[in-house]
Structure 1
């Protein structure tokens, strides 16, 4: 029986955890003669253990622990336990220090390292992005010559990775995530008494919630938007700056911060909303763009290669420059006015 070692202690939340969970779900249903040994950092993932899946919890890793693990500790662990991988798979963007004869595959899903965006190390809110943009590529390159294949989610990432790391396109595999089929008729209907805008995203700088708040603030001043609400999936303590901006524009009755919600609830909001806004200017994929299409939602999205690729032939969409406040304001009002007067 062949042994596949899977490395992903970095996945603890958000998109990275979603990818890991999808992978574990997939391999748990495979009918093949393979032994998977998966290194993770969350104890609850032990539920995936079976005859063919071994879950090893190594705990949360900071930068120092990650470097030690990738360069020394993982190799030592495998040697001490007499584990001889036939294949090594990293789902956290980088290869590791293993013998040259052990084939390595990496699943790359970190756009911060391949786009030309400027961040300031001296701004606390941007420091992590600066590190991903300027330091993280060093670790990607470190063992890249030992990596046989790189898996990516989208064509634009394939092109960007090829250019950034001078890595042959023939060794980059495009593997788009599968979106589970959803019977929208089975999703709960919930009453609403306002035109509802939905944006399920963590309050990171590049998710660009700010432009939506500014557009709504301008609309409130110019038009009045008593019958409009915008739902963000974080709470005020997650981003005090955005909370202050909402209060500054007197949008407390229009912008609701509902905190993190389970996926079932996300689906309910898709079904019971009038429009998805997606102003993010940095995405590998942009999963909500795919999900919103299942519910035939109107979509306003930043105009970037990622969004053009994911939207495809979907018709109920408007592409807007990510920092064009007037553009966001006009399109939100246009869609609100057209639907309210039907």
Structure 2
């Protein structure tokens, strides 16, 4: 290994969900100009045929993460006689390493949103932590020469407004997106005339309960037509809520679907619904729009940014009456021209920042 052309990559907490997608895209896009030391979770395993990538396994856990962010990268470099050209953090936080160029990929949207959470309510404590405490860890090792990368312009604007970060030090770079084939042989069992699809986790800000309330407000005459199809397990907390509200026959828990099964499901549904309040990106919006599927979504900046020009998008405020009306309008099967997003940035721009 050429020890003066090394890039350290902090990715110890990226072992599932959107974080893992970011790491995989990073690995696929890596240039050949540098040697990359990728610090990953000790249970993670990646295969690559690129000779300039070396993985270093790090013990999982909060204290281990803090130790590496604040001390261990610097000690590791000293011990192994490495002077890294740059430090890349793919997991929101800066690391301690005086004198080295540093690029931080920020993809946690809660600290930059307008939504407030309570430490008093048990169901909201996690979100209150990310809103009010996590920014300390994001910026505790802040230096004016650190460069930040975010996925959307709304996050850049929020960073500038809330934390006074220089806009010249923030780049908006969209993740890779390739429209996936739906030819998988998988066909979900659709039991309703109007099938609403929502591939999302059970987080409060995803606003599943809002759609529950819309279904209840639709009324007995049309309610039986509507089904809400979720990529959650049947024993999740929301299933209890559906029973409590008397709409259990309208909510279908499909379980944890494979990526290919999610892609196949879009074409079988009446629409994607996307009531979420917080997203650093919003990949399902692109997945559905590039397949010509109707979308009903919350009027947020990220929805406007990603699919504001898509003909099949109904972007409305999170109010029950207009949502009920939009849902019932789906009784006639609609297909729109497939959307082709055009982004002016890519992972190539990310690696240009390292090189500069």
Normalised TM-score (structure 1) = 0.90
Aligned residue in 2 for 1:196: 195
Distance 2:144 2:101 in 1: 7
Distance 1:326 1:39 in 2: 49
Question: How much does 1:189 deviate?
Answer: 6.4
Q: Give the 5 Å matches for 1:291-310.
A: 291-310=287-306
More helix by share: 1
Given the alignment of the two structures, is residue 331 of structure 1 paired with residue 330 of structure 2, yes or no?
Answer: no
Distance 2:42 2:199 in 1: 24
CA contact (8 A) 2:191 2:227 kept: no
Distance 1:107 1:158 in 2: 12
Aligned residue in 1 for 2:77: 78
CA contact (8 A) 2:215 2:324 kept: yes
CA contact (8 A) 2:102 2:146 kept: yes
Distance 2:145 2:129 in 1: 23
Given the alignment of the two structures, is residue 7 of structure 1 paired with residue 2 of structure 2, yes or no?
Answer: no
Aligned residue in 1 for 2:56: 56
CA contact (8 A) 1:95 1:146 kept: no
CA contact (8 A) 2:181 2:263 kept: no
Q: Residue by residue, what CA displacement relative to the aligned partner does 1:196-246 show, whole Å, maximum 9, x if unpaired?
A: 211000000000001011111222x332333432211111444x1x22221
Structure 2 SS opposite 1:223: helix
CA contact (8 A) 2:277 2:298 kept: yes
Structure 1 SS opposite 2:38: strand
Structure 1 stretch displaced more, 132-141 or 299-308: 132-141
Q: Residue by residue, what CA displacement relative to the aligned partner does 1:76-121 show, whole Å, maximum 9, x if unpaired?
A: 222223232111100111111102x210000111111112321111
Given the alignment of the two structures, is residue 311 of structure 1 paired with residue 307 of structure 2, yes or no?
Answer: yes
Q: Give the 5 Å matches for 1:127-206.
A: 127-145=125-143, 147-184=145-182, 186-188=183-185, 190=187, 192-194=190-192, 195-206=194-205
Aligned residue in 1 for 2:352: none
Query: Which blocks of at least 5 consecutive residues in structure 1 are unaligned?
Result: none
Q: Residue by residue, what CA displacement relative to the aligned partner does 1:35-79 show, whole Å, maximum 9, x if unpaired?
A: 1111111534332374211111213222x3322221112222222
Cα root mean square deviation, aligned: 2.0
Distance 1:199 1:223 in 2: 24
Distance 2:76 2:152 in 1: 34
Question: How much does 1:259 deviate?
Answer: 1.9
Query: Which blocks of at least 5 consecutive residues in structure 2 are unaligned?
Result: 335-356
Aligned residue in 2 for 1:123: 121
Question: How much does 1:326 deviate?
Answer: 2.2
CA contact (8 A) 1:35 1:53 kept: yes
Distance 1:33 1:150 in 2: 21
Q: Give the 5 Å matches for 1:188-267.
A: 188=185, 190=187, 192-194=190-192, 195-219=194-218, 221-238=219-236, 240=237, 242-267=238-263
Given the alignment of the two structures, is residue 67 of structure 1 paired with residue 66 of structure 2, yes or no?
Answer: yes
CA contact (8 A) 2:151 2:280 kept: yes
Normalised TM-score (structure 2) = 0.86
Aligned residue in 1 for 2:354: none
CA contact (8 A) 1:187 1:271 kept: no
Structure 1 stretch displaced more, 146-155 or 90-99: 146-155
